[in-house]
A and B are shown apart, each in its own frame.
Chain A
């Protein structure tokens, strides 16, 4: 089934109104100190756990705002972050 995302301006809207912008991963690393290995890891490597992740979306079919929300790839629905401890 399709699902809805919550735009901070327009409220809950059909997911096909939005463009997916990928996981939120903090600021882009400083280019000057970046090794090629780190560069490729940052640009291409991802960890997609089956649990809520923070990600970027663009409301292309609506107000045109970029925003972040938490969504769970295991269920495809918005879901607040889990409290997980990892060693």
Chain B
């Protein structure tokens, strides 16, 4: 893949009202904390480390440009209606963070609190919804079961008759969810991290990790060696690949996931819609496009390959239960990585394989909605060298102790890795 030059444009914006959001600082040879990955997890961790833990000597190393990976490739849906209490607790706090962050970062994240409607097309899926709704209710998160008629009241374009291949049997309606502008979140966090003293280095690729006995000591990069006291791998789907530099095996399958947008349409989809059985999630963007994502290709890989297969799949699936979309054209398709774990929950750990090494990986396709809140707690983890209580259930050791999180008991069997 072509690497971007980290050089900065010669145009000076500093005198204008719209100056640069973050500075390009010289790359030093040593940092207290080095974070691999300039996505929302890495940037949020840098932001909270600098802001709340007074650790300013931080480098965020990004091999491409910030937001190149999953942070800029997701469909930006946010919600807190997962299956397990541990997950819901984290995602719920994350959901409540958006308005606070918008204010703190002084940057419009365009949080659109439009709600989420998930569809069930089988008795098993309805039972899964009941479990998730009970978890949400127990955790104080608003989520309710709708019958097909109520689903149609939320989204009149739905076909609730028996005509579709998988007729709609129920809906799980989650009003607190919605969408965010993902680029704005990346830029806002970069702005905030920079303001509090962290440095962001784009176009710096990590090519090796240095260890001294049980401790990580630094990284080898495309721009020379950099030593550090603590190293955090927060590279999303590429993180598993980075861990192989240390011969670390993880219960992670990196898979490609595709998404696409249609031509702009008049407003017809006023909340985020998803269906496990059809492998569809969709929302209508502020421009009017239907942005929709698909299931994953099953073979492990680190590419962002897109295929005609998913245009066909999405078109067939969407038009089956929303027939008014027939004839609408897709304009654009893209792909990103989802690092799947066996229990659909992330791996958040530190000082287990090597002292000074922290990992924030295995988010699958939940990495976007969890970004800032995880960054907040990973910063605490790194600063205090002790896992905060809310992150403790996500330790890697759960896979060796048969303490899976049970997130797969939601709506369907996801794939061969579960």
Residues in A lying within 8 Å of B, measured CB to CB: 1-3, 15-16, 19-23, 36-37, 40-41, 44-50, 55, 71, 73-76, 86
Contact = CB atoms under 8 A, between A and B. Distances in A.
A68 to B, nearest CB: 13
A40 B299 contact: no
Given A36-B400, A73-B300, A1 B306 contact: yes
Contact of B241 (A1, A40, A50): A50
B213 to A, nearest CB: 15
A15 B301 CA distance: 13
B342 A20 contact: no
Interface string B252-264: 1110100000000
Contacts of B401: 36
B301 A76 contact: yes
A45 B306 CA distance: 27
Task: Name which of B250, B298, B301 has the most chain A CB atoms within 10 A of its CB.
Answer: B301
Interface string B177-213: 0000000000000000000000000000000000000
Task: Name which of A1, A16, A50 has the most chain B CB atoms within 10 A of its CB.
Answer: A50
Nearest to A72: B301
Name the prevailing secondary structure of the B interface residues: loop
Contacts of A74: 301-303
Nearest to B309: A16
Contacts of A1: 305-307
Nearest to A51: B244
- Nearest first, the 10 closest Cβ-Cβ pairs linking A and B are A44-B251, A45-B249, A2-B307, A20-B298, A20-B299, A73-B301, A49-B244, A76-B303, A76-B301, A47-B249
Nearest to A47: B249
Nearest to A40: B400
A87 B54 CA distance: 40
